[in-house]
Amino acid sequence: MWSVIWHRFKRSRLAVVALIYVAVIAIIAATASFVAPFDPTTTDLAHRLAPPSEHHRLGTDDLGRDVLSRMIHGARVSLVIGFSATIIALIVGSFLGAIAGYYGGAADWIVSRLIEIVLCFPFLFLVLGIVALFRPSLATIMIALGLTSWTTEARYVRGEILRLRDLEFAQAARASGARDSRIIFRHLLPNALAPVLVSASFGVANAILVESALSFLGVGVPVPTPSWGGILSVAQQFIEYAWWLVVFPGFAIFTTVAAFNVIGDRFRDALDPRSD
């Protein structure tokens, strides 16, 4: 099945380019300590707000820190938060959705009401509230994003489990004496994850965007840890004569989020048999 999905996926050159772009960003983020030309936290007030040059390829910020180095290390922060928050959302959403879909009744009612309660609050304000309540840190942001974005995965899994639980393979497993936990996690859940993985791609993009927004608002990644949103937050004070502080991190956020969205769109089409 996955070979067929990959065959459909790679028909789109834009999606392949987006996948390559994400892979390159991931490699750069993983090797940030080696590829960054300077320490991202080292200040040099003698060269503050220097425009892009041969020495500082993307210029410097208000404290003389190299923007390219901060961008490279910021990519690591963005990807770690994006993927970690998405994994937390996948685990929580898949578990609750599977329980609700398989057992129905009271379990389904409780999970459905819990989903509705979470959806009642605007996503960004809910994350802001959690981060403000606890000390802002990478772990706090990852957990806050993961625990507020699981509802989509839960609804997808619940719907798939409702469809799969009465099919022949599930009935055969039940007739053979398999426990409910084995039926859910060994037989049903693996067959229900395809649409959830599509949602996960969009979830990574959304997590990166929200993390950038939190850092821009000053309640995200604590200083001096570099992040794309943090560079933009500094840029608002010098936007009239330090254009590089706006253009480069803004372009990085835009292209990365767009790449994940393109991958998710194409993956969704590849899962649809009618796309042939």
Domain ranges of the chain: 76-275
Average confidence (pLDDT) over 189-216: 85
CB–CB of 83/255 below 8 Å?
no
Query: How many beta carbons lie within 10 A of that of residue 174, not counting itself?
Result: 16
Q: What is the pLDDT of residue 180?
A: 86
User: Which conformational region is residue 71 in: left (phi greater than 0), alpha (psi within -120 to 50 degrees), or beta?
Assistant: alpha
- Predicted confidence at residue 166, as pLDDT, reads 83
- Output the pLDDT for position 196: 84
Q: Within its chain, how far is the Cα of 20 from the centroid?
A: 17
* Phi, psi for 235 (deg, rounded to 5): -65, -30
Q: Which of 16-30, 70-84, 194-208 has the lowest mean pLDDT?
A: 194-208
Share of the chain above pLDDT 90, in %: 33
pLDDT of residue 131: 83
Of 73, 67, 76, 44, give the one whose Cα is nearest residue 245. 67
Q: Which CATH architecture has domain 76-275?
A: Orthogonal Bundle (1.10)
How do residues 155-172 score in pLDDT, each as one tens digit? 989 988 988 888 888 888
CB proximity list for 79: less than 8 A, separation 6 or greater: 25, 26, 29, 208
Q: How confident is the model at residue 182 (pLDDT cuts 50, 70, 90)?
A: confident
Contact between 230 and 223 under an 8 Å Cβ cutoff? The reply is yes
What radius of gyration, in Å, describes the C-alpha atoms of the chain? 22
Helix (H) or strand (E) holding 42: none
- pTM confidence score: 0.88
Q: pLDDT tens across 52-84, in order?
A: 888 888 988 888 899 999 999 999 999 999 999
Beta strands (DSSP E) in 53-165 are: none
Dump the DSSP string for 157-214.
Answer: HHHHHHHHTTSHHHHHHHHTT--HHHIIIIIIHHHH-HHHHHHHHHHHHHHHHHHHHH
Asked whether 239 and 256 are in contact (CB, 8 A), the reply is no
Report residue 191's pLDDT band, with 50, 70 and 90 as the boundaries. confident
CB 164 within 8 A of CB 171: no
pLDDT (0 to 100) of residue 1: 65
Cα–Cα distance, 49 to 91 (Å, whole number): 44
CA gap 153, 147 in Å, rounded: 12
**C-alpha distance from residue 265 to each of 160, 214, 269 (Å):** 20, 26, 6
- Mean of pLDDT values over 188-197: 82
Please tell me the distance from the alpha carbon of residue 138 to that of residue 214, in angstroms, as a whole number.
11
% of the chain at pLDDT higher than 70: 97
pLDDT band for 26, please (50, 70, 90 cuts). very high
Cis preceding-peptide flag for 224 (omega within 30 of 0) = yes
Distance, in Å, from the CA atom of 200 to the CA atom of 272, rounded to the nearest integer, reads: 17
